[in-house]
Amino acid sequence: MLKKEEINNNKKNFKFRSNKERVNYFLSLFTKKDRVPILIWADPDALASALAVKRILQNRVEKVIISNVNEITRLNNQVMVKLLQIPLQKFSPELLKSFNKVILVDSQPTHREEFKNIHFNVVIDHHPISNNFSAEFTDIRPDYGATSTILFEYLKTLKIKLRLNLATALVYGIKTDTDNFEKSANLHDVIAFHSLFKHVNKHLLNKIESSSLRRSELKYFKIALNNLKYLRNKVFVYVGKVTSSDVLVLIADFLNRVYETSWVFVAGEYKKKLIVIIRCDGYRKDAGKLAVKVFKNLGTAGGHREKARAEIPFSNLNIEPEEFTTSSLIRLFKKYFKEPKSLTQKHFKEAPII
């Protein structure tokens, strides 16, 4: 009998003496008669982690699928799915009727509205532990840089032979969520990456990584540069209506490279929601906590120390999308940075546009 010790808000995130105990308990939850969907908010780490769970369960249950809740619009992710032949089924509430156990990876039930009314039997994640959900088995490790690292340890414990596509997916998942080991990584991530890299198809990995931007999306960078404002060492920009929220992430990551910029706030309108992407250096800062503070009563928000995201229906903001500006974005955050109550032009720095 395994020793079970409840931690963190009475959720069943057990302490195990070894990875072998943890993996054996995970497998004990499933039988040959089970039909299992693995739900994800599809990004590289989630896709890779789900592919690993599918590999683990494929001969142990009657059926196992990967189901993406979100539309996959980011070009890197589309190329990853295509080149690595990741089988996906688009999620709908009706899909769950033909399955009896549900797994969530690289997220938690409170992170997305789409997850909140679903009972998950298993939750495996590396984001900070959130409240108000329960599952028969949770493995949440906020000190890990990627959920892909956790699933690599499962595969290693079970001595499952790594196929090229799965190894490539896991390496890409680790690279993206650790920002190529610049942030949010620990020794486990390094060991996993080193062990996996020998099995990777480097040509496929390079193709996936280099496919980040469509020509049609270049216009948003021009809009961002024209609209951005600096408030001391913080950069704010509202891009307006976008065809994909992923382009806001690309802009935020680009601006986060600018010297003497410690905070980046990029926002845009997507599907009648204000999408806000936050980046910072993580030194004495916490983007995830800031996002929750600002938006917890307006929409969904969360993330890590260095990066976070919020999604707020414009109907909750009492402002029409066409009236929203970069100055509106600044006002949402102003009180959290102890800036002067009355901001005048002297507090802003214009970015040199060339």
pLDDT digits (tens, 9 = 90+) for 70-121: 999 889 999 999 999 999 999 999 999 999 999 999 999 988 888 988 999 9
Level-2 CATH architecture, domain 19-210: Alpha-Beta Complex (3.90)
Largest CA distance in the chain: 68
Res. 336 pLDDT band, cuts 50 70 90: confident
pLDDT band of residue 344 (cuts 50, 70, 90) is: low
78-90 pLDDT, tens digit each: 999 999 999 999 9
Check pLDDT > 60 for residue 198.
yes
Segment holding 269, helix H or strand E = strand 263-270
Q: Matching CATH topology for 19-210 and 218-349?
A: no
> Rounded to whole angstroms, how far apart are CA atoms 329 and 307?
17
List Cβ neighbours of 218 (8 Å cut-off, separation of 6 or more).
Answer: none
Q: Work out the burial of residue 33: count CB atoms within 10 Å of its CB; fewer than 13 is exposed, 13-18 middle, 19 or more buried.
A: exposed
Q: Pick from 197, 153, 154: which is nearest to 175 by CA?
A: 197
* Angle between helices 19-28 and 147-157 in degrees, nearest 10: 90
7 pLDDT more than 60: no
In the three-class reduction of DSSP (H, G, I as helix; E, B as strand; rest coil), residue 35 is classed as strand
In the chain, where are the structural domains located? 19-210, 218-349
Q: What is the pLDDT of residue 9?
A: 35
Region 132-154 average pLDDT: 94
Q: Both tokens of residue 240? A: 């307006």
User: What CATH number labels 218-349?
Assistant: 3.10.310.40
Contacts of 191 (CB under 8 A, 6+ apart): none
pTM (predicted TM-score): 0.71
